[in-house]
């Protein structure tokens, strides 16, 4: 590889380096990018190493939101303090790859990873979190759940050339958060994040691994919200969980080449959704 390697020491330097050369790529843990660079699937003119940018690894509160730096590793996101803040993200972190990948792989890198996103993005979409994309001109907040999950790589919709993901802004919710992950063969996974907010009737559900982006099941969410008892927040019927699962599967329609594989994926989505509801609401 003939690329230049830059090691900026601050966020501003990193953003400037990326803005100067739109073909440069940022690299943090490198668990997803470096294999692609080595196989020449991507040919960046420069790599901007983020290891020395401490600002990317910070986190904090900001009026009802948790600000998580893009450089936080999976291992860090699974720690007890962050797990208490955003339980679904910690649950997702615990099911990523091997210990080595969790030690190196970062939140920002996962948002931009190749393939069908199945780890952080469905959680962020369910939480209605926003991703902070920074360029020398300023910061743009993008909400993954408002993108077009079925129309091509989500990273391209999310980030403009020359921008750097600096972190995510996650609303702090008092409700329940569930994350379910299931292998479906050939190294592929389906995931489902379910969030039941502090207000009765606030239910959000996103599916990962089914399409190029995380897919929200808005109609199924509304249906489930309507089945919740206005005072207790409980579901009206024990069969609601299974019905919700079928509705989510119908709405999400995971993609696969073969019909048999497609049928299995729909079945898995339905089971994951049912289980998430059962865990969240009991029963």
Shortest Cβ 260–other proteins spacing (Å): 7
Residues between 38 and 97 with contacts to other proteins, criterion CB under 8 A:
39-40, 97
Residues between 247 and 276 with contacts to other proteins, criterion CB under 8 A:
260-261, 263-264, 267-268, 271-272
Number of residues that bind other proteins (CB under 8 A): 20
Residue whose CB is less far from other proteins, 62 or 257: 257
Residue whose CB is less far from other proteins, 163 or 178: 178
- For residues 276 and 121, what is the distance between their CA atoms, to the nearest angstrom? 17
- For residues 267 and 250, what is the distance between their CA atoms, to the nearest angstrom? 10
Stretch that binds other proteins, among 11-19, 78-86, 127-135, 184-192 (CB under 8 A): 184-192
Residue whose CB is less far from other proteins, 39 or 84: 39
The reply to whether 152 sits near other proteins by the rule CB under 8 A is: no
Residue 218: count other Cβ atoms within 10 Å of its Cβ: 13
The reply to whether 280 sits near other proteins by the rule CB under 8 A is: no
The reply to whether 188 sits near other proteins by the rule CB under 8 A is: yes
Q: What is the pairing mode between strands 215-216 and 203-208?
A: antiparallel
- Dihedral sign, CA of 255, 281, 172, 225? positive
The reply to whether 36 sits near other proteins by the rule CB under 8 A is: no
The reply to whether 246 sits near other proteins by the rule CB under 8 A is: no
Place of tokens 């994926």: 265
Residue whose CB is less far from other proteins, 92 or 184: 184
Shortest Cβ 122–other proteins spacing (Å): 17
Are the C-beta atoms of 196 and 221 separated by less than 8 Å? no
Write out the residues near other proteins by the rule CB under 8 A.
2, 39-40, 97-98, 182-188, 260-261, 263-264, 267-268, 271-272
């Amino acid at each position: 590889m003939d690329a230049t390697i830059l090691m900026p020491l601050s966020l501003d330097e990193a953003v400037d380096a990326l803005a100067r050369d739109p073909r440069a790529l940022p690299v943090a843990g490198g668990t997803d990018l470096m294999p692609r660079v080595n196989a020449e699937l991507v040919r960046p003119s420069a790599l901007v190493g983020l290891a020395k940018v401490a600002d990317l690894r910070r986190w904090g509160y900001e009026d009802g939101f948790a600000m998580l730096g893009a450089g936080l590793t999976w291992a860090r996101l699974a720690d007890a303090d962050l797990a208490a803040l955003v339980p679904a993200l910690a649950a997702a972190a615990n099911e990523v790859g091997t210990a080595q990948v969790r030690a190196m792989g970062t939140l920002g890198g996962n948002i931009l990873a190749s393939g069908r996103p199945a780890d952080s993005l469905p959680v962020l979409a369910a939480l209605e979190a926003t991703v902070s994309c920074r360029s020398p001109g300023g910061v743009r907040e993008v909400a993954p759940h408002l993108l077009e999950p079925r129309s091509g790589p989500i990273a391209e919709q999310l980030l403009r050339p020359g921008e750097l993901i600096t972190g995510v802004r996650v609303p702090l919710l008092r409700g329940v958060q569930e994350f379910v992950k299931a292998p479906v063969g050939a190294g592929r996974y389906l995931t489902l994040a379910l969030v039941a907010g502090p207000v009765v009737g606030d239910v959000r559900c996103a599916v990962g691994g089914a399409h190029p982006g995380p897919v929200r099941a808005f109609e199924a969410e509304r249906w489930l919200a309507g089945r919740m008892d206005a005072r207790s927040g409980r579901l009206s019927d024990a069969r609601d969980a299974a019905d919700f699962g079928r509705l989510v599967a119908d709405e999400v329609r995971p993609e696969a080449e073969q019909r048999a594989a497609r049928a299995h994926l729909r079945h898995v989505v339905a089971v994951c959704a049912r289980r998430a509801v059962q865990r969240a609401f009991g029963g």
